[in-house]
Structure 1
Amino acid sequence: MEGVLSDGMCRCCASEGSFKDFQVPYQWMGAEEIYANMLKDCFDLTLSISEEINNGGICEVCITQLRNACNFKRQVQKTEEKFKRKMEESSFKTDSIKMEVTRFDDDDSNMSADEFSSQEYEVPIKVEKLDEKPRKRQAAAKASTSKAKKSKASAETSVKREAIEESSINNDPQPRKATIKVEVETLSKPKIKLIVTKKHRFGKDISDILLNTNATPIRCKGGKGYACCFCTNQFQDPKDLKDHTIYKHDDKTKSEFMKGVSLHNFFVKLDITDLKCSCGSLLQNIEDLVQHLEAKHGKELNSNFMKYVVPFKFDDGLKCAKCKLEFNNFKLLMEHMNVHYKNHVCDVCGAGFVNKKTYTAHCYRHQTGTFPCELCPKIFDTRVKQMEHERAIHVKGNKRNKCGYCGDMFNDYTKKNDHEVKVHGAKPIVLACQACDKVFDNQRSLTVHTKTYHLMQKNEKKYKKNAKK
């Protein structure tokens, strides 16, 4: 069955458009796929269903990622079964025991000289003559073990045994020695080496900070405000988010934060406003926090961990916690923090990025070529511009700005901001010019004002036009 939903939302990436129904079966390469079942089997996620609003669907990009995740899970499960079988097969190893026996040559003995004629049996026999009645046989055994470096999973044991027997029949004074090799089966335990990777190490580091201080993570700056990392709540004031995180989410939830996240995606935005340890000590920055936890509380934190934690302070406006430079909105401040955290640097433009994921996404923008729009005659020089054009013009009808409260779409973000203030009672945006006393309600007006009156770019353009004439 094939079908799409109109005017829906992708339930995996929140993009708007017409997507496939996640509850309907589809055919792909001869196999049936139901994307809701795949999400349940692979990630144990059950998507909510509403009878009042459109339940949305799943886009092609997310379908591909989901399909790859399911295939990868099956691959890992098959590999684990194969590895377990190899462990069982290698559990039984054969070891050698070497025995040396010294005894008298007795006619009543169960072993003849012919039985020891091979290389495995060279028995020196020692004979002594007795005066009267033969005494009872006496045996003395001496064992020694030595390890041979044949393999990591097995060891070779060598045992030497000497036996002395007395007999009055044979008068041979020369002793002969016998070397006996016995093959035995011993059970050796497989050696398991535990490796702590960076992603697991960093996950423990951030949980130590969250459990021992009032530092709180920020997921993003959404339409309503600053989003919580542990639920869907958003707050206009970062202080409200801090109080919500501290008092509404327990230690167990915080200890699972960023657990299992790979270093490729590891990136934590941390609010360190009025930073305080659980012992009451006041701290100034993330470096002081790490030193305090190590010295006073015995915590072992990875020194590279701080490269992937970006701190923010909201006690004096939107200022950089490193250089105190002030910004008008959180997005610009986030872009500025890449200046201080250049873990990955673009070879083309020199821009820095905290983790490899954002770096890779940025480098993708530099790939140039000819990319025509599939729905109109326009041609773009990058794939990113083509995709943004198709999504904005043809998919969303040029309405790219979504209200964070009701989901209404607007073709201009100033109209969206005005809608949120008048309809939903959001806090009005106030952007102050850094060079004069003027204030504005949107970034576009502030940028035009700054370039025109303070950077003199408008007059410069006029001068260039006049110079050409």
Structure 2
Amino acid sequence: MEVSASKKGPVIEAGLCRCCGLVKRCRLLNVEYIFCGQKEVYADMFLDSFGLCLSHLDGEPTDRLICATCVTRLRDASAFRRQVLQCEEKLLQAQIQGEDEGNIIKTELEIKVEAEDICDSMPDDADHTDNYDDSMEVKADPGKRRSKRSAARRGDEARAKKEMLVKMKRMREKLKELKNDDADLIPPQMPATVRPWKSSNAKAFHNTVTLVENSYVCPFVTTFSDYHCVYCKEMYTDPDKLREHTLTHDPTTYQETVSYKKSLLIDITRIDCRLCPKPIDDLEDFYTHITSFHDKMLYPNIRNEFLRFRLKLGSLSCLECGNNFTYFHALKRHMAEHFGTWICDVCGAHFFEEGKLIIHQKSHHVPKTEDTYPCKDCGRVFKSKHGRYYHISRVHSEHPAYPCYKCDEVLFSYNLRYRHMIEVHGEQRTFPCESCDKVYDSRKSLREHNRKNHLKVLKHECNVCEKKFYLPSALKDHMASHTGERNFRCEYCGKSYPRMRALRVHVQSHDSEKKYKCAICSASYTQSNNLKHHIRAKHQSVMLDQLE
């Protein structure tokens, strides 16, 4: 078991969480940690929030672990408890509104004296009505019976008022403790826009906006694994260029460009303070600095304001567990394991959005089959919903759904918009191969190149000669060399070929300029390979004479 120490408390790199049963990066339940300038002991938070007194807290460290995901949920529960206490206080205060403090004290004393007198005058078994003799009540004077009933009602009202005042007193004491705990983070002069009864999402959004406006962090949005400027949607594949570009925008406009209901993405490669020259490379230090030296307002005990990344070219690392990922979309999907609040009750998978959880849960109940998606208008069958949607939008409805960020044009698919941004707006999207000098304009093309040429992922094998191919279409073309089939015929001259690619090359000879001309004779060709074959076949002797 590897333990790493930090100023925030010890961290177990791989341990079994007692709360969710998963092996993750964990902390100790009964050790004090620092978060947002606040001290927290998770065992005490369980006791305060749920009344749970956890066992085995004095044993081995492996028996008292809690992961980051469960810590987040525990903090949310603690914050919810605070919210309930605050609302309860407002409700009780509303019930006694209009009475000054002196009248409240006087009423409390009168109720106390009255309740004590009534309780002293009542017999010990007055509440046990099973032992009461009905015949005595019949014989008793009716006036006395009414007097006793009235006294009993007054006693019940007195006890109810006394209990309410005691509850109010306890509630004030709890709220006073909570306010004292928060006093070191929130300055006493709280602005009107920062209200304690705001939702947790709104509070988290306020903290994020304060961070972006007063530091050099880089907010961004993504499409698959491309990075976009959050202000103008300019696309970058190099995080350094994204950060350099983002500095040209006014950070005070960030609040107007994003919504607090969405997952916010922040690159914290550079933090530092915008208001003074102090260099800062840790978020917790920045929060302390911005509230202590610049009197900025932050909500305490707010968790998961945004997803944190340190973007760089090549391998990307998770800041929570250190796992490495090649593509950003894989890292973001992994981050749901740490911070996703929507959890599958079958397999434990985490998600950021409820919709994705619902789609995932269907996979547990629906058997895997080769689903097909027919078009209702023409009957054409597609292998995916996306293919059918693209077909319907382009052929039947003629309704494009992918708008360009820089002009008014709307495209029919993501790929068409991708090409549009390159060809029309000149966006530079280059993805060089690390193993050779090839450069591609899409991440997919680079991935296919690596799998085919460097990783040699050749899953399609010929059952005749055992030759392997990357694509099934390549295997199909190869089989023609064994069967002798020549199914691809030229419509101009009738010449047939075993492969479509060979036919396409041949067709160019009919309608294309023959720019590859032989320097010895008048022959010309559309393909350079054909010219080389011509020289070797017709002029080899001439080339040998020249060499001699």
Shorter chain as normaliser: what TM range? 0.3 to 0.5
**Greater helix percent: which structure?**
2
TM-score by length of 2: 0.39
Query: Please, what TM-score do these two structures have when normalized by structure 1?
Result: 0.45
